[in-house]
Amino acid sequence: MSVARITEISSKSTTGFEDAIQEGINRATQTLRNVQTAWVKEQQVNIENGAVASYQVNMLITFVLE
């Protein structure tokens, strides 16, 4: 039997949503062990001067406790 925990993180990129997701996962796996899944809960773009300045995602990260 295993027990998992879920934590919510936010990640931002100037390139796109996919890059924001990957950056968030990369950072989470530096700190958390046994990361199993990531659920993208929300996506948004930040606008500056009428143009997209950055892409942001809020994710739920699931990791199994040791």
Range of the domain at 34: 4-64
CA of residue 40 relative to chain centroid, distance? 7
CATH number of the domain to which 27 belongs: 3.30.1660.10
- Rg (Cα) of the chain, in Å, rounded? 14
Q: Is the pLDDT of residue 1 over 90?
A: no
Q: Report pLDDT digits (tens) over 6-59.
A: 999 999 999 999 999 999 999 999 999 999 999 999 999 999 999 999 999 999
The residue behind tokens 């390139």 is: 15
User: Residue 51 to residues 43, 44, 54, 55: CA-CA distances in angstroms?
Assistant: 16, 13, 9, 11
**Total domain count, the chain:** 1
User: What is the structure's pLDDT at 24?
Assistant: 97
The partner residues of 65 in beta bridges, in order of sequence, read: none
